[in-house]
Amino acid sequence: MQNNEPSPSSLTFSIGELSKQTQIPVSTLRTWERRYGVPSPAGRTEGGHRLYNDSLVSFLTLVKQAIDQGHRPKQLLAMQTDDLQRLLGIAPPPVDIAPVEPSPPTPEQTERVHTIKHWIALGREQQDEQLMSALQQAWFQAGILDFLEDYLALFIREVGTQWEQGKLSVGEEHFISQHVRDFLTSQWRPMSKRAKNPKTCVCANLPGEEHTLGLNMVATILAVHGYKIIYLGANVPLFDLISMSQKSSAFALCVSISEAMDEKKMHDIVRALGLALPKSTNLLLGGSGAQKLVHAETHPQTHIINTLRSFDLWLQRA
């Protein structure tokens, strides 16, 4: 029987051949592997020499092109091939995908939609006790992480959408937002006071940032993990962000950044924080605005948080 599997020699290159194919010096490839784990050898010869998969050639060629345009290797080597192609303005090959009929909503999705509509109705009617009771009931039924990610985040987004569409007045939007803040604070603050973890986390917004609902959600996750929280709230000057983190020997400075924040200002502040914070303090950046920093050159202890679930996983590993 004929063997259709490629031979090992067709799948792998020596580091010298990889260097020749990509025009990247061997010393550079070894430095990248040591610092960033890329390129990772697919195996070794009997003599212990590295062997690399031939698929690395196209990837590293794109990396070199991006470096030649002024980008930094640390971020590039963490990217996928499609991301590199988009960065370089190279469109990926078109994929002919047949249209897919949308799946009907699951019972859980339908239930969430009805729940959020009910909460908005309670807010519109200023039924404060009923709204707080409904939030408490969902908190216990869904579990804390699912409540925050699957219910409260959608609720906040829907409130904002209805306000933009004129379906909710400014007063109604403020009424709902304030009650959500009050509810979250009533949950995380007692947990923080009882915290046995000696590590402290500072929660604050950057200068000019007024929205604190996301920050309270972050504080809730931290409190669940047993951290003591120093909550500074909205619009905190840069000096105070640094000073409070230093005084408390904070394990982390957690910052929520909205989409509305000026991008240059955000980059400047984050760069200053990364340089000024102690090496023992992690800088955790979340919110829709923080996603603009995914490919930016940041300090080693800076971490971009995409979702509350990924934040929860990061804390588990930490």
pLDDT in tens, 144-165: 999 999 999 999 999 989 998 9
Quickly state the pLDDT bin for 50 (edges 50, 70, 90).
confident
Please report, as a single letter, which amino acid is at residue 58: S
What is the average per-residue pLDDT within 33-47? 82
- Please say whether the beta carbons of 199 and 227 come within 8 A: yes
What is the average per-residue pLDDT within 26-50? 82
Entry field: residues in the chain? 318
- Domains, the chain, ranges and CATH? 8-87 (1.10.1660.10), 107-187 (1.10.1240.10), 195-317 (3.40.50.280)
C-alpha separations of 222 from 74, 111, 129, 191 in Å: 29, 28, 27, 9
The pLDDT assigned to 183 comes to 97
Quickly state the pLDDT bin for 295 (edges 50, 70, 90).
low
The pLDDT assigned to 222 comes to 95
| DSSP letter string, 250-289 | -SEEEEE--TTS-HHHHHHHHHHHHHHS-TTSEEEEESGG
Work out whether strand 12-13 and strand 50-53 pair parallel, antiparallel, or are unpaired. antiparallel
The tokens describing 224, both together, are 């669940």
The pLDDT assigned to 5 comes to 37
Is the pLDDT score of 37 beyond 60?
A: yes
pLDDT in tens, 11-22: 577 888 888 888
The pLDDT assigned to 132 comes to 96
The tokens describing 316, both together, are 């588990």
pLDDT in tens, 242-294: 999 999 999 999 998 887 788 888 888 888 888 888 888 999 998 888 877 76
Question: If you ran DSSP here, which 8-state letter would residue 317 be given?
Answer: H
Q: What pTM, to 2 d.p., does this model score?
A: 0.66
Quickly state the pLDDT bin for 7 (edges 50, 70, 90).
very low
Question: If you ran DSSP here, which 8-state letter would residue 101 be given?
Answer: P
Find the Cα–Cα–Cα–Cα dihedral 10, 13, 19, 24, rounded to 10°: 80
